[in-house]
Amino acid sequence: MVERSQKEVWRLTPWLVIALLLGNFILMAFSAKDITSGQRIIRVWGLTVADFVQSPVTSITSSVSNYFGSIATLRTAQDENGVLKQRVQELEVELKGKEELTAENDRLKSLLNLKETNKYKVLPARIIGRDPSAWFDSSVINRGSLDGVKLNMPVVTDGGLVGRVTAVSPLTAQVDLITRDKSGVGGVIGEIGSSTALGVVSGTSKKDLLEMRYVPGSTNVQVGQSVFTTGQDGIFPAGLKIGDIVNVGGGSASEALQILVQPAARLNSMQEVAVLLYEPPQRPDFEQRLPNAGKDTKKK
Amino acid sequence: MEQLKLTIALILAVVLQWTLRNVAEPFMFVDFPLIIVVYAALQRNSIRAILYGTFAGISVDALSGGLLGANGFTKTLIAYAVSEIARRVYMDNLLLRIPVIAGACLVSEAVYFGIHRIFGVESSADPVTTISYTLIGTTIAGTIIYISLDRLFTEKRTARKSEMFKTRRQSRRRNPIRLGK
């Protein structure tokens, strides 16, 4: 190893700093160029390496908290046991009635020759990591390309839409939430077939709040109405619940409504999510030839 | 040996940063890699501190939703600035290190936020709240970690201290009044 004098080190340091800062700046410039669509190889490596740490840590901490949680609930378990036994008996009676109804339903379905089909394949996943920075809210799930996860696939919970996959490693994937400012989801207020209140739902500067833009001011919109995906953004399928309207403001013949939406999924406390193995249908040839076709997809 | 210990501490800090937010949300307000990078910079080995800053920053960026390289940029900058200050001012005292880590944290968060604004990437977090909480969290955690690290590196510190005060003691011995006696 070459021994350097202190003077040499002092002379060398500013140049090293400049080189490293420049390297980081170039990385940032590339990252900013396609932050919502592309994925960088460093991010994929990072996800892969972190999986070996995050998965065991999450398993250990969840089992420890479950253990202590079970001790705490043990005291109330005896009282609950009595109530539950009674409820089980009630449910058994109810179940017998339901079984008869299901059998009847099956008979009728076979008569009508109907098939139950799942719209999309659902891949359950667990959140094993959260964004290490306090400024952003992305999450890491324990499913990756080996499980069939691809870039831009939608992520949901039983409550509603969570976000989409923005980086995929073989074992894990990074999910950007719909609350992120750069996110954009095509949304419709109410049922897609019957409603004309279409707009774009995007993140705001506030956590747990979305903004729906471009809804014409003349549209009748009420607080409490639900917002669903339209499926026209080329990423999310139609009919997923985004959230409920909590505030409606502004709006005139020439001005769009200012609509605030609360996400249906509990984004802060979710532990289990599901990845929809959904790939949007191919755009028609004439649409792909349009000058902004590529850019549109990236912005979403 | 010191370098190995510090490298292990840095890797541990990155791992903690990756995992602790999922265990308890308030840990997101502690910047563990920054604490170690500032500690390394205070050891007056500027090249090592700068390299640590870049490595730790990019490692955190790899799992963050922010810009890749933003943390690398800020931590490299902080490492250089702190090592330059440490070269000029004697800062082996813990009480002096507390304002250094607090200042480093403040600058780091402000630069990180500014970079994202320049590149047009907005965070959903409130800047004032995030910077304030991170400042508090990192300063408290930094003080505790520095006490532990100082114990780890005690031998080195003692040796450096004696080296530093050596010349002063010699000059006292040469005091003409004493010599006269």
Nearest to B50 among A13, A133, A134 (CB): A13
pLDDT of A292: 61
Those residues with Cβ within 8 angstroms of residue A23's Cβ, 6 or more apart along the chain or in another chain: B54, B69, B72
Residue A100, classed as helix, strand or coil, is helix
ipTM over 0.90: no
pLDDT of B165: 53
Nearest CA in chain B to A166: B65
Tell me if A25 and B80 make a contact (CB, 8 A cut-off).
no
Selected residue of B121, B126, B130, B132 to mutate for chain A interface (largest A Cβ count, 10 A): B121
What is the mean predicted confidence (pLDDT) over B98-121?
92
Tell me if A138 and B65 make a contact (CB, 8 A cut-off).
yes
The distance of A167 to chain B (nearest Cα, Å) reads 10
For chain B, what percent of residues have pLDDT higher than 70? 85
Contact list in B for residue A34 (CB cut-off 8 A) is: none
What count of CB pairs under 8 Å joins A to B?
171
- Name the residue with higher pLDDT: B145 or A295: B145
Tell me if A17 and B67 make a contact (CB, 8 A cut-off).
no
- Name the residue with higher pLDDT: A63 or A295: A63
How far, in Å, CA of A279 to CA of A50, rounded?
A: 27
Q: What is the DSSP letter of A124?
A: E
Fold of A34-78+121-300: Thrombin, subunit H (2.40.10)
pLDDT (tens digit, 9 = 90+) per residue, A12-64? 888 888 999 999 888 888 877 665 556 667 777 778 878 888 788 878 887 88
Selected residue of A6, A8, A15, A28 to mutate for chain B interface (largest B Cβ count, 10 A): A28
pTM given for the model? 0.74
pLDDT of A293: 59
Tell me if A24 and B125 make a contact (CB, 8 A cut-off).
no
pLDDT (tens digit, 9 = 90+) per residue, A166-206? 888 888 999 988 888 777 888 988 877 777 788 899 887 67
Tell me if A13 and B73 make a contact (CB, 8 A cut-off).
no
| Residue B136 scores a pLDDT above 90 | yes
Task: Give residues 165 to 184 of A whose Cβ lies within 8 Å of B.
Answer: 166, 174, 176, 179-182
pLDDT of A286: 67
- Name the residue with higher pLDDT: B160 or A241: A241
Those residues with Cβ within 8 angstroms of residue A154's Cβ, 6 or more apart along the chain or in another chain: A161, A163, A164, A235, A236, A237, A240, A275, A276, A278
Residue A111, classed as helix, strand or coil, is helix
Whether the Cβ atoms of residue A138 and residue A106 lie closer than 8 Å to each other: no
Nearest CA in chain B to A209: B124
Does A22 touch chain B if contact means CB atoms closer than 8 Å?
A: no
Supply A42's token pair: 């460093």
Nearest to A131 among B64, B69, B77 (CB): B64
AA identity, residue B171: S
What is the mean predicted confidence (pLDDT) over A115-130?
75
Nearest to A130 among B22, B46, B71 (CB): B22
- How far from chain centre, in Å, is Cα A137? 11
* Contacts of the segment A179-182: beta carbons below 8 A, 24+ positions apart: A179/A137, A179/A203, A179/A204, A179/A207, A179/A208, A179/A209, A179/A210, A179/A263, A179/A267, A179/B124, A180/A136, A180/A137, A180/A138, A180/B65, A180/B124, A181/A205, A181/B121, A181/B122, A181/B123, A181/B124, A182/A35, A182/A36, A182/B121, A182/B122
pLDDT band for position A296 (cuts 50, 70, 90): very low
The distance of A222 to chain B (nearest Cα, Å) reads 26
Nearest to B121 among A17, A30, A32 (CB): A32
Supply A11's token pair: 């002379």
| Residue B75 scores a pLDDT above 90 | yes
Does A12 touch chain B if contact means CB atoms closer than 8 Å?
A: yes
A171-206 core/surface letters (b: 16 or more CB in 10 A; e: else): bbbbbbbbbbebbbbbbbbeebeebebbbbbbbbee
Whether the Cβ atoms of residue A240 and residue A119 lie closer than 8 Å to each other: no
pLDDT of A297: 47
Domain boundaries, chain B: 2-180
pLDDT band for position B31 (cuts 50, 70, 90): very high
pLDDT band for position A299 (cuts 50, 70, 90): very low
- Name the residue with higher pLDDT: A30 or A225: A225
pLDDT band for position B158 (cuts 50, 70, 90): low
How far, in Å, CA of A169 to CA of A150, rounded?
A: 9
pLDDT (tens digit, 9 = 90+) per residue, A126-174? 888 888 888 888 889 999 999 999 988 999 987 789 999 988 888 899 9
The distance of A129 to chain B (nearest Cα, Å) reads 5
The distance of B93 to chain A (nearest Cα, Å) reads 23
pLDDT (tens digit, 9 = 90+) per residue, A60-117? 887 887 788 777 777 778 778 888 888 888 888 788 778 878 877 776 665 565 444 4
